[in-house]
Amino acid sequence: MALVLEIAVLVIVGFLPRGVPDSLIVVMIAFTASVQVTTFRTLIIWPYNTAMVTGNLRTAAQAAYAAVADRDPDAVRKTRSFATIIVSFTIGAFAGGWLTLHVGRHAIWISAGVLAAALCLFIVDEHRERRRLRGEAE
């Protein structure tokens, strides 16, 4: 439901006319970010932040140190996972800036589309998990 709410708000923002105060748009986008942060807090088994990269950078650096210094295989996995998040965040930030310059206010719909794709992946994953559990029960 959180993703559906986020998608709806972002789609609405894309339809707002040019005269709408920026403060209203900022509040709406901040609301979606707050829903994102409070709903999606775990990456595999580790806490992470979906809206800001700073804490994730710290976690990746600590894990990288443990991977090298302690030769910890779990720390290697954690480093790779957080590096993927950081790279994805960076690509998304650059893409969002570029799209905003070239598409304008409707670029927000692309963000809604990415969230819709994530929602579809969640639904497919949930469906597969239910089928797997039914198969084990039989």
Q: What is the pLDDT of residue 32?
A: 93
Q: Are 28 and 9 in contact (CB under 8 A)?
A: yes
Q: Who's near 36: CB < 8 A, 6+ residues apart?
A: 2, 6, 50, 51
Helices 108-137 & 73-103 angle (0-180, nearest 10): 140
Containing 46, the helix (H) or strand (E) segment is strand 46-47
- Would you call 71 helix, strand, or coil by DSSP? coil
pLDDT at residue 97 is higher than 90: yes
Banded model confidence at residue 71, pLDDT cuts 50, 70, 90: very high
pLDDT at 94 over 70: yes
Confidence grade of residue 127 (pLDDT, cut at 50, 70, 90): very high
Q: Is the pLDDT of residue 63 over 90?
A: yes
- Answer whether residue 138 shows pLDDT above 70: no
Contact 64, 79 (CB under 8 A): yes
